[in-house]
Amino acid sequence: MTDAATSIRPAGVPSARETAASLRAVRVIRRARSEGRSRGDVAYAVYAGIMVAAIVVAPIVRAVVLYLAEPAASAVLVEVGPATSGAVFALACAAFVALGGVRGPALVTPFLTFAVVGGGHPRRRTLLRPMVRAVLGLTLAGAAIALLLGLVLVTVGSASVGGAGAFAGAGALVGIVCAGCWLLGQRASAAVRTGVVGGVLASAVLWAAVPGASAVLPWGWIAELFPAGVVAGGAIGPLLGLGVLAVVALAAVPLLLDGLRGPGLLAQAQRWQTAGTLAFTGDLAMAMGEFRAVPRRGRGLAALGRGGGRRRGGLVGVFARRDLVGSLRTPARFVLACAGCLGFGLLIAVAVGASGVAVWIAACTAAIVGFLALGVWSDGFRHAAEAASAPALYGVSTLRLVGLHAVLPVVAGVLFSAGGVVIGFVLWGGVAWLALGAAVLSVLLLVLVRVYDSVKGPLPQELMAPIPTPAGDASALVVAVWQADAVIIACVAVGVVTANVASGGVAGVAWAVAFAVMVGWMARRRVLAS
């Protein structure tokens, strides 16, 4: 019997039955070649996930809940919760659109990309499984985060059970919308992604600046559903609006999947597989390098200027101009670096004005944001690390080369972080000069940590040796600490310096000098040993 769908489909397009048969055949071949996940692999992954959740995630969540349930923290949560939830929603949508250009949700291995996705079958069918996993994961994550906040507010008596439930439902709908934004970013071109991200951020600014825009913008809908401010019957309209957005996102999934291009899918699959292999072998630097943006803009900008730049500033001006032009050739990274340094200064201002454990939370968050933001201006350190094992060119030693490349990250980091401190002072007040001093000292320390991280060599083989303990093999923890040593040092240094500067004493300067000497000595050892 001829299928009705088969009789009306275009010539050469496989039917749904043929597509399903091809998928089953490919899975059988993968299992026969031991390339796919066996039942034992799935069972072990489930077991490992449960253990990690019980040992690591549960204590962290418990500590966060207990901290938020304190009177002072819950009062702040009630006050800033609505605005923060709307801003987080907008930033999440923009971030997922941008992430889609690097790693989309509808992604399979290069083998499956060749065998099935590129075989003429409709991609709404061949790529449906990874897309469903992405939608379910983001939906559960959004609902869990919203439910956690709602239960905290219910516990302290600032919200009702119904309000917490409505906010959890809104979190699930937000997860679906973010999944649609993620797939849109994978399907769209770089120009369209930039436009969408800019439009989302502009609408978020409009929502924050114009109170009346809350009724027509989704960022205002999620803010109205925050449990501490929701009133009886007032949640229906915002929930319906978010529901319509979620339905639109789900309805667009088949069209967006069919529009995915084969070369882009294959490039992402190969890049992700290579990065996964490098990460599994312990080389996280090379794994992250797979996702570094390739310079595509600014080819007409002169990196040296007329006469090689010797007339203005000597070698310092030459290297500063060279590094600046190099960073401008990846505009997205440059803009993110500027925004990250502004956020770093803003978080330092928050840390200086806070008290108790909030100082450490804000300072450690600032350290991570600042460390990542300085990356685009610290690419010259990798050049110095590569030149360390070669003869010195033009009479410039390796240590001097590192110092010359440090000019741009120091100047740009100080300027933009100072701007973030000023923004924080305007918004919340406080002692501006203390926050400014903490930001400047922290930037100098982060630049030294960047130098230390850039000259890191490959993973030492002795760290891969098993370390038997009563709880199992601990070698993975040693490798993890070795990989994250720069971030750990950055958090400790910025946290200690900021906490001491916030107290108003000169101990922060003394601690900054001590950390600078220690990190500089370790970086010098690595440079000379390479």
Cα distance between residue 214 and residue 220, in whole Å:
4
Cα distance between residue 288 and residue 291, in whole Å:
6
Instruction: Read off the DSSP letter of residue 356.
Output: T
Cα distance between residue 492 and residue 301, in whole Å:
39
Structure tokens at 124: 């709404």
Instruction: Read off the DSSP letter of residue 459.
Output: P
Backbone phi, psi, residue 117, to 5° = -65, -35
- How would you class 412 by CB atoms within 10 Å of its CB: exposed for 0-12, middle for 13-18, buried for 19 or more? buried
366 within 8 A of 347, measured Cβ to Cβ: yes
Cα distance between residue 180 and residue 104, in whole Å:
11
If one counts every other C-beta atom within 10 angstroms of the C-beta of residue 160, the result is 17
Residue with tokens 């995915």: 260
The mean-pLDDT minimum among 39-53, 87-101, 149-163, 497-511 falls in 39-53
Cα distance between residue 264 and residue 218, in whole Å:
31
pLDDT digits (tens, 9 = 90+) for 467-513: 777 766 667 777 777 778 888 999 999 999 988 887 776 788 888 89
Strand partners, 469: 472
Is the confidence at residue 368, as pLDDT, over 50? yes
How high is the pLDDT of residue 448?
Answer: 92
pLDDT digits (tens, 9 = 90+) for 112-146: 777 776 666 778 877 888 899 999 999 999 999 99
Q: How confident is the model at residue 2 (pLDDT cuts 50, 70, 90)?
A: very low
Cα distance between residue 68 and residue 174, in whole Å:
23
Is the confidence at residue 453, as pLDDT, over 80? yes
402 residue type, one letter: V
- How would you class 36 by CB atoms within 10 Å of its CB: exposed for 0-12, middle for 13-18, buried for 19 or more? middle
Strand partners, 473: 468
Strand partners, 472: 469
pLDDT digits (tens, 9 = 90+) for 253-283: 999 988 888 788 888 888 888 877 776 666 6
